[in-house]
């Protein structure tokens, strides 16, 4: 079910020779789907040239600086109405390990994170559990809120009070919900994961995950742009998509960003198999699948895009991914585990810095909002003071 099919490019126009595609990408041309498919399907022999072009394009805008965000995960609830077959995070009420964080726990974790130098509070949670679970609706009522997103707003206020900048990734949200959260967040996010509607069909990884409808996710990402919310999105590789669909996903992200300009970073994330999931025996994308996707993302999205890969999911590929064109490692926590991939420990930040240095890169901290978005166009006035003060006091003051 999760195996990667080779693409069928029968409907796409014939691709140009690879060298011509790379020349056009380096000249800033807008690549076609056929171009992107040719890049992401390149042969082993062609991969070094594709990666070299991607790295050169990255260097033009980013140089040899690679960033990360020091953050604390706040898994507000792991109840979720969806059932993605690769997920170990979600639980039903009453399952061992099911939780909803109480306000005092949110404050305590935020405080400890701030003491350890974290700047970002990542609100991560399941999707719309109140729609599925009566017990959880009672929990929300006892907390004085009607919806999970209202409760996330409360959690953001707590994190702000403790000196952190919230970044909410709460699944599908309405425009009204995002509007309510904008004054409480430095940025927000939603992984597109894949543009493929096939993954929601019978036997697909998202068959029982109504919130993973790609059309709904594209709509929300677009609406976030209309609300001027700096936004994080990305792809999850190895969940049953074809290679060509990976290229289509990248082009969909590019198209939204051309309309709205709010995509501050694009994550290229690899599926990791775990014994307890339905996809336990599914093949994982290998390092070169990831390198092809990263390099293609860079060449499709351009020199200025922040392209990220999680270091804890590919700890041996730090140098390869730098060579393929990333400029960011995403959030790394000195306090909390990666709740979505709990078996994959974060790298020690100093060790990661040493490896980057040996590869010729400076590892630098950034905030949950990238510097290019710290301005009146993108920041809600209610959170702007916190962001600017944090910037001046920490990473901005050191740059």
By CB under 6 A, name the binding residues for ligand SF4: 80, 82-84, 87, 89-90, 126-127, 171, 209, 211
Indicate the SS3 state at residue 30. Answer: coil
Residue 205 CB, shortest distance to ligand SF4, in Å, is 9
Nearer to ligand SF4 by Cβ, of 74 and 84: the residue is: 84
Under 8 Å CB-to-CB from 75, ≥6 apart: which residues? 89, 99, 101, 124, 125, 336, 339
Nearer to ligand SF4 by Cβ, of 179 and 200: the residue is: 200
Nearer to ligand SF4 by Cβ, of 235 and 387: the residue is: 235
The DSSP bridge partners found for residue 66 are 363
Nearer to ligand SF4 by Cβ, of 2 and 80: the residue is: 80
Q: Is 151 exposed, middle or buried (0-12, 13-18, 19+ CB in 10 A)?
A: buried
Residue 92 CB, shortest distance to ligand SF4, in Å, is 11
Residue 27 CB, shortest distance to ligand SF4, in Å, is 39
SS3 content of the chain, % helix, strand, coil (to 5): 45, 15, 40
Q: Which of 239, 228, 216 is closest to 183 using CA atoms?
A: 228
In angstroms, rounded to a whole number, what is the distance separating the alpha carbons of residues 247 and 289? Answer: 12
Nearer to ligand SF4 by Cβ, of 35 and 127: the residue is: 127
Residue 353 CB, shortest distance to ligand SF4, in Å, is 30
In angstroms, rounded to a whole number, what is the distance separating the alpha carbons of residues 301 and 291? Answer: 15
Q: Which of 192, 277, 202 is closest to 235 using CA atoms?
A: 192
Residue 238 CB, shortest distance to ligand SF4, in Å, is 14
Residue 79 CB, shortest distance to ligand SF4, in Å, is 9
Q: Are 74 and 124 in contact (CB under 8 A)?
A: yes
In the numeric block, which tokens belong to residue 273?
């198999």
Nearer to ligand SF4 by Cβ, of 92 and 157: the residue is: 92
Q: Are 137 and 130 in contact (CB under 8 A)?
A: yes
């Amino acid at each position: 079910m999760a195996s990667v099919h080779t693409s069928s490019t029968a409907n796409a126009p014939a691709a140009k020779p690879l060298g011509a595609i790379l020349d056009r990408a380096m000249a800033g041309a807008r690549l076609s789907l056929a171009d992107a498919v040719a890049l992401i399907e390149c042969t082993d022999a062609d991969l070094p040239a594709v990666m070299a072009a991607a790295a050169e394009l990255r260097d033009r805008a980013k140089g040899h600086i690679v960033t990360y965000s020091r953050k604390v995960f706040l898994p507000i609830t792991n109840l979720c109405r969806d059932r993605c077959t690769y997920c170990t995070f979600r639980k039903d009420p009453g399952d061992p390990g099911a939780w909803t964080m109480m306000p005092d726990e949110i404050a305590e974790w935020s405080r400890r994170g701030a003491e350890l130098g974290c700047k970002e509070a990542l609100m991560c949670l399941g999707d719309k559990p109140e729609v599925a679970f009566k017990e959880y609706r009672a929990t929300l009522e006892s907390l004085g809120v009607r919806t999970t997103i209202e409760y996330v707003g409360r959690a953001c206020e707590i994190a702000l009070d403790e000196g952190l900048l919230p970044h909410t990734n709460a699944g599908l949200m309405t425009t009204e919900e995002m509007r309510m959260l904008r004054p409480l967040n430095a940025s927000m996010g939603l992984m597109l994961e894949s543009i493929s509607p096939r993954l929601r069909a019978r036997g697909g990884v998202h068959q029982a995950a109504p919130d993973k409808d790609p059309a709904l996710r594209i709509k929300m990402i677009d609406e976030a742009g209309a609300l001027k919310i700096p936004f994080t999105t990305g792809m999850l590789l190895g969940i049953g998509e074809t290679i060509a669909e990976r290229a289509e996903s990248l082009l969909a992200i590019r198209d939204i960003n051309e309309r709205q300009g709010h995509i501050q970073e694009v994550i290229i994330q690899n599926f990791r198999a775990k014994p307890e999931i339905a996809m336990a025996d599914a093949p994982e994308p290998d390092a070169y699948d990831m390198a092809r996707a990263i390099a293609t993302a860079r060449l499709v999205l351009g020199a200025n895009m922040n392209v990220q890969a999680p270091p804890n999911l590919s700890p041996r590929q730090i140098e390869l991914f730098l060579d393929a064109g990333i400029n960011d490692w995403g959030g790394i926590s000195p306090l909390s585990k990666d709740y979505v991939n709990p078996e994959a420990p974060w790298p020690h930040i100093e060790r990661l810095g040493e490896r980057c240095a040996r590869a010729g890169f400076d590892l630098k901290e950034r905030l949950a909002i990238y510097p290019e978005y710290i301005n009146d166009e993108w920041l809600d006035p209610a959170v702007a003071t916190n962001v600017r003060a944090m910037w001046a006091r920490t990473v901005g003051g050191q740059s």
